[in-house]
Amino acid sequence: MIGAGPGNPELLTLLAQRRLAEADVIVYDRLVNPALLAPYAAEKIDVGKLPHHHKVSQYQINDMLVELAQSGKRVARLKAGDPYVFGRGGEEGQYLKQHHVAFEVVPGLTSAIAGLAAAGIPITHRDYASSFHVITGHRKAEGKELDWANIAHQEGTLVFLMGMEQLATIADQLMVNGMSATTPVAVIQWATHWKQRSVSADLATIVDVVTAAKIGAPALIVVGGVVKLMPELQPQLALQGLHLLIPFKAESKLFAALQDEGASVNYFDRRKKQPRAVALPDMAAGGTLVITDFAAFHYFQQQLLTLGVDGRSLNHWQLVAMNQVVANRLQETGLLADALYDEQQLDLTQPVVYLGEQAALAQLNGPATAQYLATYERIAVPQSVDLADFHAVVFPSSASVNDLYAGCDEAQRAQLQTMTCFAMGQTVADECQKLGLHAIVAAPSYDDVIQAVKKEFSTDESNRVTGR
């Protein structure tokens, strides 16, 4: 049982990351950020539940966990926040125990603390609160009424989770039971997510303020003097409130750079690489090997190894890298490219072999006498993202543009055509234009992309929560 934290994917613990990487199946809840799930290869099962509408009932979830575990799979039960803070983690643990299923609990950051911090509210402060109390606003149907007389007289900060439907009742009961009508209150919706919003007022007026702002669940209700600190301590990052889409890459430099500026970043899927069996050249004959991309060379090496042939067979071959990126990747594996690609410099008196991806090789206008080995093909992945939820997409390469476009349906492609697209370099911008994308901003490097995003959205803060 793993706590996913309040929403921001980088608030996941190190142990949680390791357990998710080890899992065969991830059973996750509605509030888990999709960006958090992207790095993991496990089968993913969404059992998310909406208020008054359970996609999968708790009883079904319990049985599912037992059945998956008893089938021999390593199951990661991923729950928003901390599993044991109003997340039914204790109930699921009891059920697993009763059915003799071993499990561990990986704690997560609870929104009751981290969500407040994201809005600039310290849950305790020497001048305002030396204690805090976390209370659920969502009770079992047969549950008893909260002890309002006791709650209203507690010293410190009160945090209500899952209480938006009861906001009016919470405010009324606190005042009826002796809490001052001028007590500060804040409501924080979607804490640490891109669409985080917050308002503050006093107990007497908070319901009207929330209604006017159209703030709903999921949200935290915070009552106490610490709310006064929100205007002073609320984070003000340059890209805060922006939701940006980028291609998935493990340990993405782009992801980190955008998140550090306050943006919330999510991923679209890249095409899947599928190896292809090819007729290999006579390695003893020698010649020129033109490596158009490193993945093609990797699959080429794998086929050689299956035949019992290793890297020593390259001694008779000149290695030509299509570009500096390929040359750098070869160097990382201990191979130095003899040259960068220039068709005019190829020695056509000896065998010339091009290694590449199937579609890319088909578009390459090389010598007719050369041999073209497509050692893999890229299979488009249907994109499940709702493009209307994003302010812009960032493309670091031409391949990433094609990966997203190929995986979109017609409706998504229509959305993409008018969506702001940041292209890293003119070549990438040209590829966007070729596919009919219109709102293109070209920026040559990671740093330039950050500045371009800031410039593009610096005067558009009003649209940052609701999207485009």
Catalytically active residues are 29, 49, 162
H or E stretch covering 392:
strand 392-395
For the chain, how many residues are written?
468
- Distance between first and last Cα of the chain: 36
Q: Is the bond preceding 6 in cis, omega lying within 30 degrees of 0?
A: no
How is residue 40 written in tokens? 């993991």
DSSP for 149-166, written as a single string: HHHTT-SSEEEEES-GGG
Beta bridge partners of 77: 27
Distances (CA, A) of 114 to 7, 130, 418: 10, 17, 36
How is residue 110 written in tokens? 């609870």
Maximum alpha-carbon separation in the chain:
95
Beta carbons of 196 and 119 less than 8 angstroms apart:
yes
Strand, helix or coil at 4? coil
Beta 264-268 vs 352-357: how paired, if at all? unpaired
Q: How many other β-carbons are positioned within 10 Å of the β-carbon of residue 2? A: 28
Rounded-to-integer distance, Cα 410 and Cα 54, Å = 31
Beta 184-189 vs 219-223: how paired, if at all? antiparallel
Strand, helix or coil at 338? coil
Rounded-to-integer distance, Cα 187 and Cα 207, Å = 10
Q: What is the arrangement of strands in the sheet containing 287-291, beginning at the earlier edge strand?
A: 272-275, 371-379, 352-357, 287-291, 317-321, 339-340
In the chain, the amino acid numbered 467 is G
